[in-house]
Amino acid sequence: MSKKQVVVIGSGFAGLSAATHLANSTGCLVTLLEKNDSPGGRARKFEHQGFVFDMGPSWYWMPDVFENYFAHFGKKPSDYYDLVRLDPSYTVIYAENDLLDIPADLKEFKKMLDEIEPGAGAQLDKFLAQAKYKYQVGIHDLVNRPSRSLLEYASPGLLVDMIRMDIFQSMSKHVRKFFSHDKIIRLMEFPVLFLGETAENIPALYSLMNYADIALGTWYPKKGMHEIIKGMVALAKEKGVKIRYSAEVDQIEIENGLAKSVRLKSGEKILADVVVAGADYHHVDKHLLDPAYSNYSEEYWDKRVMAPSSLLFYLGINKRLKNLRHHNLFFDEPLGPHADAIYKNPRWPDKPLFYASVPSITDPTVAPEGMENMFLLIPLAPDLEDSEEMREKSYHIIMDRLEKITGQEIRSHVIYKRSYAHSDFKSDYHAFKGNAYGLANTLLQTAILKPGLKNKKVSNLYYTGQLTVPGPGVPPSLISGGVVAREVMKENNL
């Protein structure tokens, strides 16, 4: 009897996770199809004359999620990459000569807060106690639910948990219960920016991100974030996953309500008993399926609140830099105008907030000797008109501020420069509206209110990744692959 065949589309964190779980537990032949010529999706890397650039994710938070993933297969992260905890975790720049180095040590962190706002250290203990509870319930329970029915959340105990987890209160109001100083408020609200909305529109449930930040710490895998992907690929292959690159899917072919095969751009047809789509959900729903089998209408998609896109710059600099850390958050302009430019009146901002990462400060292997590798990121509204002119204008706006605040000339020392924005996200990942982070985690886009992980009309077609449950970010995407794999196994007798 021939083995059943599972096809997974996309080799990002979610796709690799789903494929590895399925290959490990089912005995199926699992084929992973990747559009690009290397694995990782948004977590790809590229190299140029000794500079090694992670293309997307640069923060390693929630180390327990990665530990749990590899432990499922009898492995450890250290089998594949070496982690170091950053100290300071990151730096927040509020103005010239006004910055905070965020210490990894909790006692030092509380001392720093007390110096800004007397009593804030004690308030932090209360804030973190709630955040820890949310983290334990949220990350070790709720995010592992497929969110296909309200009945999954119907137990009295869980309903009590949901109330305790502040899902109906905004993160903004929650933070202000504990702290009053603007610097601390902005610091505490920063982590939810990873979730794709402002603190006014994100449920206070997500203070769990503060627990991840402050208690669990900020880490870095030596040689770069792509080392995680490299490890996941090695594990997937060990479990028997067949990975094919430059294999873009053109259509999922349906017969009698079943996905029977996927057809590649090349014309090749690959038979399938189950299909798991880890590519952009909207692209799969509206472009890889006949309209009769779409899960959602175009109107539905247009009403989704998307997380921001980004303008990225990858820079090779021919000298060492001063007054910068591995992670640097520039809050030297008010959030209001920047948030408005993303969410209320979408446009290219005149005074953008931005983030600078200089991994070569921690890891000299990612740049030639005596040089620096710099990654710059500006959050932008999705679906903006993307032009080289606007990219360059934004580049000089943030470089003016970067040079002034750090007290050094940088631009004249840039010997390599590459930009990346909406049109690139669309071209490389078919990203809906050129988004970088998926779907915003607003209350009305949480759990069962997200796009479902299973097609309603095709009984063996499933979805995984940042546009379905549990949501955006690297750890949730890693979890998403495991969640969908369990549903596939349960419903297809694998």
Domain that holds residue 280: 5-58+225-303+441-492
Tokens of 186: 């902005």
Structural domains counted in the chain: 3
Quick one: pLDDT at residue 154?
Answer: 77
What pLDDT, on the 0 to 100 scale, is given for residue 159?
67
The mean pLDDT of 421-446, rounded to a whole number, is: 95
- The predicted model gives 177-205 an average pLDDT of 92
Local structure of residue 488 (DSSP, 8 states) = H
With respect to residue 457, please indicate whether it lies within any of the assigned structural domains.
Answer: yes
Task: With respect to residue 66, please indicate whether it lies within any of the assigned structural domains.
Answer: no
Max Cα-Cα span within the chain: 71
pLDDT at 472: 92
Q: Supply the pTM of this predicted model.
A: 0.97
Kind and range of the H or E run holding 174 = helix 171-178
- The stretch 74-103 carries a mean pLDDT of 97
Q: How far apart, in whole angstroms, are the C-alpha atoms of residue 336 and residue 200? A: 11
Residue 325 belongs to some domain of the structure: yes
Whether residue 93 is contained in a domain is answered as: no
9 within some domain? yes
Cβ(35)–Cβ(41) below 8 Å: no
Strand stretches in 272-344, DSSP E: 274-277, 309-317, 327-330
Q: Which residues pair with 254 in a beta bridge?
A: 259
Q: How confident is the model at residue 167 (pLDDT cuts 50, 70, 90)?
A: confident
- Planar angle of CA 37, 39, 42, nearest 5 degrees: 105
CB 22 within 8 A of CB 228: no
* Residues 185 and 210 reside in one and the same domain: yes
- Residue 35's pLDDT is 98
Give yes or no: residues 339 and 298 share one domain.
no
Better-scored residue on pLDDT, 194 or 52: 52
Instruction: Answer whether residue 22 is part of any domain.
Output: yes
Asked which of 151-155, 339-343, 359-363, 482-486 is least confident by mean pLDDT, the reply is 151-155
Which residue spans within 13-59 are E strands per DSSP?
29-33, 45-48, 51-54
Helix (H, G, I), strand (E, B) or coil at 74: coil
User: In this model, does residue 2 exceed pLDDT 80?
Assistant: no
Last residue of a domain, one of 182, 216, 250: 216
| Same domain membership, residue 320 and residue 423 | yes
Structure tokens at 408: 């050094």
Q: How far apart are CA 28 and CA 26, in angstroms?
A: 5
d(CA 209, CA 188): 9
CA 338, chain centre distance (Å): 20
CA-to-CA distance for 8 and 18, rounded, in angstroms? Answer: 8
Last residue of a domain, one of 180, 198, 216: 216
Residues 6+ apart with CB under 8 A from 426: 434
DSSP state of 98: E
Across the range 284-308, mean pLDDT stands at: 97
Closest residue by Cα to residue 66 from 202, 197, 217, 223: 217
- Band the pLDDT of 197: cuts 50, 70, 90: confident
Q: Tell me how far apart the alpha carbons of residues 391 and 368 are, in angstroms, rounded to a whole number.
A: 26
41 and 113 together in one domain:
no
Domain-embedded: residue 262: yes
Burial of 465 (0-12, 13-18, 19+ CB in 10 A): buried
Judgement on whether residues 160 and 201 belong to the same structural domain of the protein: yes
Task: Pick left, alpha or beta for residue 139 (phi over 0 → left; psi -120 to 50 → alpha; otherwise beta).
Answer: alpha
Q: Determine the Cα–Cα distance for residues 365 and 50; give it in Å rounded to an integer.
A: 8
Same domain, 180 and 200: yes
| Domain edge (last residue) among 402, 429, 456 | 429
Above 90 in pLDDT, residue 156? no
| CATH code for the domain of 14 | 3.50.50.60
DSSP conformational letter for 165: T
- pLDDT for 101 beyond 90: yes
What are the tokens at 225? 């974030």
Per the listing, tokens 């992907």 go with: 229
> Using 50, 70 and 90 to split pLDDT, how confident is the model at 111?
very high
Cα–Cα nearest to 419, from 380, 450, 465:
380
